[in-house]
Amino acid sequence: MPSIIGFYSLNFGLIISFLIIFFSIKNFKNSDNLDKKIVIFTFLQFLFVIISFIGLILSFVNSDFSNETVFNHSHTTKPLFYKISGTWGNHEGSLLLWLLVLTLFIFIFLIKSNTQPKKYRVLTLLFQQVIIIGFFIFLLKTSNPFNYVLPKPEEGLGLNPILQDPALAIHPPILYLGYVGSSIIFSSALAATSTNYLSKEWAKHIKIWVLISWILLSLGILLGSIWAYYELGWGGFWFWDPVENVSLMPWLALITLLHCVIVMEKRLILTSWAVILSIATFSLSMCGTFLVRSGILNSVHTFANDPERGLFILVFLFSLIFLSLFIFFFFHKTDNKNLNSFNLFSKETSIIVNNWFMMYFLSVVLIGTIYPIFLDVISSEKISVGPPFYHKLIIPFLIPFLIAMTLGLKLKWIKSEIKDKKNLIIFFLISVLISILIVRNFDTNFLIYTVLISSAFFLFFVTVRDFFVKKFSSFSQNISHFGFSLLILSILFNNFLTNETIINLKLGQTHVAEKFIIKFEDVNQSSQKNYESVVGKFSVKNNDGKTDILYPELRIYNQPNIVTSEAYIKTNFFLDKFMTMNYVQNEEYFNIRYQTKPLMLWIWISVILISLGGLTSLFKKKYES
């Protein structure tokens, strides 16, 4: 029953789209005020989609296996929490969620943009409805979440156990909120271009949406990588997997756009940049959807290999790109009088320089992700691009990036000299000194890492000092940049100081290593609701006399039949102890992977700090220089 209601209300939602378009066009030409009907219809559309979404959730909760989506992705023995999260843990449901967020956001946009010109609001709504209709048709035509299975199966096929995880249950919705937020930015930029409303007011207005999407995207990516850290059992947190990359690209575009919009709000320059980046952000999000959903790439995230779906998104994506190119080139009027008034030492220059770097990072990720596809199509050659490619191309460029970032914080708008030079030089020397002392102990490329760590420390010290000197005057800017320096430092030290031991142990055996002794104490088997659990008990005695007890786990899921290994992670402020356990050939032995990873917690904290900067600036009235 909920399925039927869900299906019909989805259709009603689509019909309302056409009504909205009809009334919007009428309203656009005729009156000076936004027609109340349009707002009501937008709300109704959201209501229909949410009914449909609740319908799908109820089908999952009731384990209604006559619904194909439920049958494919659920099972009666699954805990309620994962039945619900299973709703968006699959292709069809996740698209429905996407549509839900689309309709929610445009509704919020309409009621929150009272002070903006009517034409701009209506046009934004129109562009957004084009996207919404596209998604409605995509959903109903190629991926209907409410398809029937006849006869009704007794039992479902189950959700991939690797996805049954609290972090992953909320990872997709948050990420989608970020992606979809970028659609509002896209529509709004196009509307502002066509109505010639690219002004300081627009910049101020859209900045909020940029911030919101960016914060949500950051948190979504963070959750995904935390999940990868403890669930995939490799102890890594970023793999340069194509699907991770496609979420990183809109993130980079958004953060660049954010800086552009900040400059635009102050000085009304970089307007073309802002429009192009708005278009790019959403196109990259859509491109990500295409790459993931079409099966053109292989990855853990690939839901279904269905060329028909891929074709639809592809055509849709490129229609939007061509539409936006058309609007940009025919309506956008560049205002040349402001363009040349840049001063070498000004905040805007430093922002532009960093935007170039950001664009460079974006291109590296883009090329690494899609070049293999190009090569395969054009010459049938297969290559795979891995972490070394990204590391070699990105790491050296982080150095000027960090330095420009630090100096940029010390510059004022329009024209200035660098403030407190003396302090900067002192900080720089201290940073270099510390880095030399630290890097000497590592077995790595001395020169490049000394310089890199110095520049990260430089940013670190300068921002820390600003917390005390400037107090709250540019708190949000400071905290984000401080977070970024912390992120780079944590990642680097984490990389250098990670220690890994892989051994096979029998119950009762001990392994003596240089710095610790691992003893396999005990193993326990127990039956959980939808899996069998095997928990090992290991004691790790460190040289300093302290003993840790670790409990890595193996889960043997019954539906579908998959063994997953749950890492046991003992986190403290400076060091993570990470242990996974796996079966070995003759079953008496277990394969143990034990890692000590310093500063893991700080990687997560620094990403949260970076987002926190965005969040605090949302609550501020005015951006300080």
Partner 1 sequence: MKVKFFPFFLSLIFLLIFIVFFKGLNKSNIYAPDNIIEKKVPSFSGKLFNQEKEVNSSEIFAEKKFYLVNIWASWCIPCREEHSFLMELNRIENLEIIGINYKDKTDNAKSFLNELKNPYDLIILDKNGTISIEWGAYGVPETFLISDKNIIKKIIGPLNTDSFSEIKDLVR
Q: Which residues bind partner 1 (CB under 8 A)?
A: 290, 294-298, 307, 310-311, 314, 318, 321-322, 325, 329, 373-374, 376-378, 380-384, 502, 504, 582-585, 589, 591
Report the chain's C-alpha Rg in angstroms.
Answer: 26
Q: Alpha-carbon distance 398 to 400, whole Å? A: 6
Minimum CB distance to partner 1 smaller for 433 or for 502: 502
Q: Which is nearer to partner 1, 295 or 400 (CB)?
A: 295
Query: Could you tell me the smallest distance in angstroms from the CB atom of residue 228 to partner 1?
Result: 12
Q: What are phi and psi of 580, to 5 degrees?
A: -125, 160
Spatial separation of the C-alpha atoms in residues 42 and 47, rounded to whole Å: 9
* Complex with partner 1: residue 293 or 577, whichever CB lies closer: 293
Nearer to partner 1, 329 or 468 (CB): 329
Q: What is the 3-state secondary structure (H, E, C) of 246-300?
A: HHHHHHHHHHHHHHHHHHHHHHCCCHHHHHHHHHHHHHHHHHHHHHHHCCCCCCC
**Cα-Cα end-to-end distance for the chain:** 57
Number of other residues whose CB lies within 10 A of the CB of residue 115: 8
User: What DSSP designation does 385 have?
Assistant: -
Of 325 and 426, which has the nearer Cβ to partner 1?
Answer: 325
**Residue 72 neighbours by CB under 8 Å, 6+ apart:** 90, 156, 157
Minimum distance, C-beta of residue 506 to partner 1, in the bound complex (Å): 13
DSSP secondary structure code for residue 536 in this structure: E
State which residue, 63 or 591, has the beta carbon closest to partner 1.
591
Residue found by looking up tokens 């994506």 in the block: 317
Is the CA virtual torsion 135, 138, 140, 146 positive or negative?
negative
β-pair partners for 541: 517, 547
At position 175, the amino acid (one-letter code) is: L
Nearer to partner 1, 63 or 302 (CB): 302
Nearer to partner 1 (CB atom), residue 307 or residue 508? 307
Name the minimum Å distance from CB 584 to partner 1. 5
Residues with Cβ < 8 Å from 67, sequence gap 6 or more?
Answer: 3, 56, 59, 145, 146, 147, 148, 149
Residues paired with 511 in a beta bridge: 518
Q: Which is nearer to partner 1, 314 or 438 (CB)?
A: 314
| Shortest Å distance, C-beta 621 to partner 1 | 39
The least distance separating partner 1 from the CB of residue 445, rounded to whole angstroms, comes to 21
- For partner 1, the closer of residues 297 and 405 by Cβ is 297
- Least Å from the CB of residue 321 to partner 1: 6
Shortest distance in whole angstroms from residue 297 CB to partner 1:
7
- Sign of the C-alpha dihedral, residues 529, 531, 537, 542? negative
- Closest by CA to 163, choosing from 218, 93, 101, is 93
In the complex, what is the shortest distance from the CB of residue 314 to partner 1, in angstroms, rounded to a whole number? 6
State the nearest-atom distance from the C-beta of 187 to partner 1, in Å.
Answer: 19
Give 164 or 580: the residue with its C-beta nearer to partner 1: 580
Provide, rounded to whole angstroms, the least separation between the CB of residue 502 and partner 1. 5
Report residue 156: phi and psi, to 5°: -90, 175
- Least distance to partner 1 from the beta carbon of 588, Å? 12
In the complex with partner 1, the residue whose CB is nearer, 8 or 234, is: 234
What is the DSSP secondary-structure string of 404-473? HHHHHHT--SSS---S-HHHHHHHHHHHHHHHHHHHTTSSS-HHHHHHHHHHHHHHHHHHHHHHHHTTTT
| Interstrand relation of 516-527 and 531-542 (parallel, antiparallel or unpaired) | antiparallel
Q: Evaluate whether 533 touches 553 at the Cβ level (below 8 Å).
A: yes
Q: From the CB of 280, what's the least distance to partner 1, in Å?
A: 12
